[in-house]
């Protein structure tokens, strides 16, 4: 998949909502295909919104990009003020360390773990549609999992679940504490502060809202965008990183990074893309900060297999249509064929494919064992 095909696919799936310097993205040389995505360690687990972002990173990896995952060992001390109406509570250093290790473990388990060609003795779709074998075979045909046509069924199954070459290392985890803690305040002001004006920052909608709010905006929170910009600048210089990816509430921070790099390297081919925030069926943000619904955490101690299963199983048809485009690696042609099979809608083919894929990829052996017992017993 070349750059234009990837960008077209992201638009067709309605993933990308903002883009800066996309022409630079299209002109990247192979050595410049490095992007980064940042996560602050303000909680002890990632949630479904993060999983949505990680799935999009896999799409870039499929196009042979190297992905730098930056965990905010330093910036977590401040906390991103974007989309917040008041100051974040300050975390103790040990709490940040504990959160860092928990999140690093989750990311490693999902993205860095080597996927082996071993056959699980159970495929959820085979039981979901056990009473309709002809429909099951039609689904498997679309997924390229038809046993009559494939001598190595598990290899194809693995491609359906995990569409990356197992021999390659696509992802690297870094801690911004490694470089930010070495940066003196004077050096920071000299390298960053003189290149970004107060007027430029105040024009950012997220900063403007906080400055004019009852709670105001502290200097530390005001500086967060500059710290994130410095991350991008540092990664550009030291890791040949040309792109930053993030959720749409990060747009102001991402463009500040582009401005900082451009002030030093006017000919740089840097770019940024953001995707929309993950929304529930009522169009409300799905995250740990939302209060209208139960957060779906990636930590099984915080969100049980049952809760994750119920969330996916009870998903509305409209939401499932969005999720199957954005949470799977099926082609749009495959999804179109599955939607034609999903008539009547009560067959719930998209919901069941989402259950199968996410349980295989996220929960692996333990989740599949639970799923086998749950579906098999009809509970």
Q: Is 287 helix (H, G, I), strand (E, B) or coil?
A: coil
The answer to whether residues 106 and 11 belong to one domain is yes
* pLDDT for residue 79: 79
The rounded distance, in Å, linking the Cα atoms of 180 and 99 is 18
The answer to whether residues 69 and 171 belong to one domain is yes
Number of domains in the chain: 2
Torsions phi, psi for 103 (to 5 deg):
-70, -40
- Pair 25, 243: CB distance under 8 Å: yes
The answer to whether residues 197 and 224 belong to one domain is yes
User: Does 295 map to a domain?
Assistant: no
- Tokens representing 337 are 């064929």
* pLDDT for residue 120: 63
The pTM for the full model equals 0.92
The answer to whether residues 322 and 174 belong to one domain is no
pLDDT digits (tens, 9 = 90+) for 130-180: 899 999 999 999 988 865 555 566 677 777 788 888 778 999 999 999 999
The rounded distance, in Å, linking the Cα atoms of 60 and 49 is 18
| CATH number for 26 | 3.40.50.620
- Percent of the chain at pLDDT exceeding 90: 64
Domain with 342 in it: 116-161+304-379
* pLDDT for residue 291: 45
* pLDDT for residue 236: 98
The answer to whether residues 14 and 90 belong to one domain is yes
Of 89, 97, 107, nearest to 47 by C-alpha is: 107
* pLDDT for residue 220: 85
The answer to whether residues 183 and 210 belong to one domain is yes
- Pair 139, 348: CB distance under 8 Å: no
CA distance between the termini of the chain: 42
User: In this predicted model, which residue has the larger pLDDT, 83 or 313?
Assistant: 313
The rounded distance, in Å, linking the Cα atoms of 83 and 101 is 25
The answer to whether residues 317 and 378 belong to one domain is yes
- Tokens representing 240 are 């040949």
pLDDT band at 113 (very low <50, low <70, confident <90, very high): confident
The rounded distance, in Å, linking the Cα atoms of 151 and 212 is 64
User: Does 218 map to a domain?
Assistant: yes
* pLDDT for residue 257: 96
The answer to whether residues 184 and 97 belong to one domain is yes
Q: CA-CA distances (angstroms) from residue 332 to 11, 40, 122?
A: 12, 33, 26
- Residue 373, number of CB atoms within 10 A of its CB: 12
User: Does 58 map to a domain?
Assistant: yes
User: Does 297 map to a domain?
Assistant: no
Q: CA-CA distances (angstroms) from residue 305 to 1, 102, 121, 153, 366?
A: 35, 19, 19, 27, 9
- Pair 275, 51: CB distance under 8 Å: no
Q: What is the separation of C-alpha 197 from the centre of its chain, rounded to a whole number of angstroms? A: 31
Torsions phi, psi for 16 (to 5 deg):
-75, 130
Residue 378 has pLDDT above 80, yes or no: no
Burial per residue of 82-119, b for 16 or more beta-carbon CB atoms within 10 angstroms, e otherwise:
bebeebbeebeeeebeebbebbbebbeebbeeeeeeee
Mean pLDDT, rounded, of the chain: 88
- Tokens representing 37 are 């995505």
């Amino acid at each position: 998949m070349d750059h234009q095909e990837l960008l077209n696919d992201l638009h067709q799936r309605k993933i990308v909502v903002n883009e800066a310097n996309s022409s630079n993205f299209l002109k990247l040389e192979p050595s410049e295909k490095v992007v980064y995505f940042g996560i602050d360690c303000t909680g002890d687990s990632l949630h479904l919104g993060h999983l949505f972002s990680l799935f999009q990173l896999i799409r870039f990896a499929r196009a042979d990009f190297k992905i730098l995952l930056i965990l905010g060992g330093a910036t977590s001390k401040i906390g991103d003020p974007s989309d917040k109406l008041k100051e974040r509570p300050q975390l103790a250093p040990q709490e940040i360390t504990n959160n860092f290790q928990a999140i690093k473990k989750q990311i490693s388990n999902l993205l860095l773990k080597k996927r082996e060609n071993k056959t699980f003795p159970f495929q959820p779709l085979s039981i979901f549609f056990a009473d309709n074998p002809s429909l099951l075979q039609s689904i498997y045909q679309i997924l390229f999992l038809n046993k009559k046509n494939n001598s190595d069924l598990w290899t194809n199954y693995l491609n359906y679940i995990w569409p990356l070459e197992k021999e390659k290392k696509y992802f690297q985890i870094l801690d911004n504490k490694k470089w930010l803690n070495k940066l003196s305040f004077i050096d920071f002001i000299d390298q960053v502060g003189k290149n970004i004006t107060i007027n430029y920052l105040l024009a950012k909608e997220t900063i403007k809202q906080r400055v004019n709010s009852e709670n105001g905006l502290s200097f530390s929170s005001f500086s967060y965008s500059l710290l994130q910009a410095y991350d991008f600048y540092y990664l550009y210089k030291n890791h040949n990183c040309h792109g930053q990816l993030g959720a749409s509430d990060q747009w102001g921070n991402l463009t500040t990074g582009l401005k900082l790099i451009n002030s030093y390297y006017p000919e740089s081919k840097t770019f940024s893309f953001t995707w929309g925030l993950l929304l529930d069926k009522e169009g409300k943000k799905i995250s740990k900060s939302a209060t209208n619904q139960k957060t779906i955490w990636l930590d099984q101690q915080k969100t049980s297999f049952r809760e994750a299963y119920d969330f996916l199983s009870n998903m509305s048809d409209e939401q499932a249509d969005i999720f199957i485009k954005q949470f799977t690696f099926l082609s749009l042609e495959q999804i179109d064929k599955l939607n034609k099979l999903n008539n009547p809608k009560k067959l719930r083919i998209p919901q069941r494919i989402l259950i199968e894929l996410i349980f295989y990829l996220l929960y692996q052996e333990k989740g599949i064992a639970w799923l086998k017992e749950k579906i098999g017993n009809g509970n």
